[in-house]
């Protein structure tokens, strides 16, 4: 892969020579900078400026030492409360799995540069852990000097750092790219996403991958953190609610009127609800049919759906693009919002099984798979044995061996649920 950085031997040699001049001193590095970010004749200005800040704070590159910010028990709780936790299925599909397939590490950190997740092949993680790049450690510029995670947070911009551009000598065999992620409502940085490895970690395709992941993360979080609608008295307004868990989808108006929905109408409402900026006719075709389908069919279904929901809670469907107007909530959104708050009991109260289980619509399956994976992963990582058993009692998950084994591991010896879990596992041949 071709790199977006100047990775030729002459540039790296220049960087190494300049880095060798960094001494344990309060004086700044005497290398001229012309303000451009990349110069064939010298160190990139952004890197040099970071080195100078690092010298001022840390004094000696060899003295940069990894600091553990969170021990294992603290890390689990911090992860659970961080916004990334609520969108892990998206982050896995958009970033973690592609990075892992490329032999790279994907790291997710908080707004202070502390790594919360570091994932990749075991052999690569072992090498990275040898230099202290692992979950729970602090990789801010203040602690580790120049690195992509630290500089991305410092600058608020995408950053790539190659080999000897790192401040700490132990990191010179690695390269990394990082992008800050902002809260969709406040615009404040909530963390960073990073790819670390060899030269491929700063290839030309990595920053677009990180940027698209950050954009998708913001869009997903905006669904979870939408402001509540208030009435004139300041109380939360009663909204229509879409029910999509289970095989009997329905729409209930704020006054209690209930409309049973066909599978196709439920699919369309769910998609329009999840994409508040609207979806084109061709976009709906792609999300509703694995193969075939047409915009003519979409228009016909939209016409029938408009008649079905006419007068219910002020909901209506605009066109060009198709957009759902009016106040609508859903059991899916309530589940995701509860998981984002770390409220597993409430999430289980809303969750009744897979989203529209009879649907083969690609867009619906993607939404359903994400919430299913998020709930299951949350339970396996942070759930109590009672919550796990409650999940395993749902018809679709009675045979989930990993969940049943976790119940056995966590439940006390006297719990009757242990015997029931053993019986199910034996029936599964485990």
Which pLDDT tens digit goes with each residue over 109-137?
999 999 999 999 999 999 999 999 999 99
Does residue 304 register a pLDDT over 50? yes
Give me the pLDDT at residue 8, please. 54
Range 132-154 average pLDDT: 94
Average pLDDT, the chain: 86
pLDDT value at residue 247? 85
Q: Per-residue pLDDT averaged across 243-266, rounded?
A: 90
Strand residue runs (E) in 6-164:
67-68, 105-110, 115-119, 137-138, 159-162
How large is the average pLDDT for residues 281-305? 94
- Answer whether 227's CB lies under 8 Å from 185's CB: yes
Structure confidence at residue 258 (pLDDT)? 87
Of all residues in the chain, what percent carry a pLDDT higher than 70? Answer: 88
**Count of Cβ atoms closer than 10 Å to residue 185 Cβ:** 12
The pairing of beta strand 175-182 with beta strand 159-162 = antiparallel
- In the predicted structure, residue 63 carries a pLDDT above the cut 80: no
Q: What is the pLDDT of residues 169-204, one digit of tens each?
A: 999 999 999 999 998 777 789 999 999 999 899 988
How is 138-158 classified by DSSP, letter by letter?
E--HHHH-S-HHHHHHHHTS-
Paired tokens of 304: 């029938």
Least confident range of 4-13, 96-105, 106-115 = 4-13
Lowest mean pLDDT among 18-27, 120-129, 147-156: 18-27
Average pLDDT over residues 214-241: 67
Per-residue model confidence (pLDDT) at position 320: 87
Does the pLDDT of residue 39 top 60, yes or no? no
Q: What is the pLDDT of residue 14?
A: 67
Q: How far, CA to CA in Å, does 266 sit from each of 190, 247, 350, 351, 364?
A: 34, 10, 17, 17, 10
Q: What is the mean pLDDT of residues 338-363?
A: 90
Alpha carbon separation from 254 to 126, 143, 240, 327, 333 (Å, rounded) = 55, 53, 5, 9, 17
Q: Go through the domains of the chain in sequence order and give each one's CATH number.
A: 9-62 (no CATH), 65-224 (3.30.450.40), 243-369 (1.10.10.10), 383-430 (no CATH)
Q: What is the CA radius of gyration of the chain?
A: 25
Single pTM value for the model: 0.58
Considering only CA atoms, which of 337, 340, 309 is closest in space to residue 324?
Answer: 309
On the question of pLDDT at 60 being above 90, the answer is no
Average pLDDT over residues 222-242: 61
Identify the band that residue 210 occupies on the pLDDT scale cut at 50, 70 and 90: very high
Which pLDDT value is given to residue 232?
45
CA-to-CA dists, residue 369 to 40, 93, 108, 355, 359, angstroms: 48, 11, 22, 8, 12
Output the CA–CA distances (angstroms, integers) from residue 19 to 12, 29, 42, in the order listed.
10, 9, 11
- 168 closest CA partner among 58, 247, 36: 58
Residue 227 has pLDDT above 60, yes or no: no
Q: How far apart are CA 155 and CA 337, in angstroms?
A: 31
**58 pLDDT band (50/70/90 cuts)?**
confident
Answer yes or no: is pLDDT of 1 > 70. Answer: no
Confidence of residue 401 (pLDDT cuts 50, 70, 90): very high
Between these two residues, 99 and 340, which has the higher pLDDT value? 99
């Amino acid at each position: 892969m071709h790199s977006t950085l100047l990775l030729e031997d002459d540039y790296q040699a220049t960087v190494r020579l300049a880095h060798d001049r960094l001494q344990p001193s309060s004086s700044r590095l005497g290398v001229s900078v012309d303000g451009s970010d990349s110069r064939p004749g010298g160190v990139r200005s952004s890197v040099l400026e970071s080195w100078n800040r690092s010298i001022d704070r840390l004094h000696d590159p060899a003295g940069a030492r990894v600091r553990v910010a969170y021990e294992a028990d603290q890390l689990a709780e911090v992860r659970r409360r961080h916004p990334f936790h609520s969108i892990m299925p998206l982050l896995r599909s958009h970033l973690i799995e592609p990075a892992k397939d490329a032999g790279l590490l994907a790291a997710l950190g908080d707004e202070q540069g502390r790594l919360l997740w570091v994932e990749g092949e075991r052999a690569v993680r072992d090498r990275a852990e040898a230099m202290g790049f692992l979950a729970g450690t602090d990789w801010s510029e203040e602690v580790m000097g120049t690195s992509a995670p630290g500089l991305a947070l410092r600058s608020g911009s995408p950053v790539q750092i190659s080999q000897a551009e790192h401040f700490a000598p132990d990191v010179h065999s690695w390269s990394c790219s990082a992008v800050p992620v902002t809260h969709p409502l406040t615009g404040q940085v909530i963390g960073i996403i990073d790819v670390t490895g060899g030269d491929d970690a700063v290839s030309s395709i990595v920053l677009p991958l990180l940027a698209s992941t950050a954009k998708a993360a913001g869009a997903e979080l905006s669904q979870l953190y939408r402001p509540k609608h208030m009435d004139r008295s300041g109380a939360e307004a009663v909204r229509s609610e879409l029910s999509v868990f289970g095989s009997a989808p329905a729409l209930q108006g704020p006054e209690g009127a209930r409309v049973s929905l066909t599978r196709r109408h439920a699919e369309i409402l769910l998609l329009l609800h999840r994409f508040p900026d609207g979806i084109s006719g061709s976009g709906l075709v792609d999300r509703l049919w694995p193969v075939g389908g047409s915009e003519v069919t979409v228009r016909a279904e939209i016409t029938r759906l408009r008649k079905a929901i006419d007068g219910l809670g002020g909901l209506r469907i605009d066109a060009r693009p198709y957009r759902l107007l009016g106040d609508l909530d859903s059991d899916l959104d309530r589940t995701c919002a509860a998981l984002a708050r770390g409220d597993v009991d409430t999430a289980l109260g809303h969750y009744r099984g897979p989203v529209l289980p009879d649907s083969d619509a690609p867009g619906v399956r993607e939404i359903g798979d994400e919430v299913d994976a998020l709930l299951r992963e949350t339970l396996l990582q942070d759930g109590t044995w009672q919550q796990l058993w409650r999940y395993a009692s749902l018809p679709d998950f009675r045979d989930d061996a990993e969940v049943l084994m976790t119940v056995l591991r966590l439940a006390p010896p006297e719990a009757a649920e242990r015997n029931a879990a053993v019986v199910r596992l034996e029936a599964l041949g485990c």
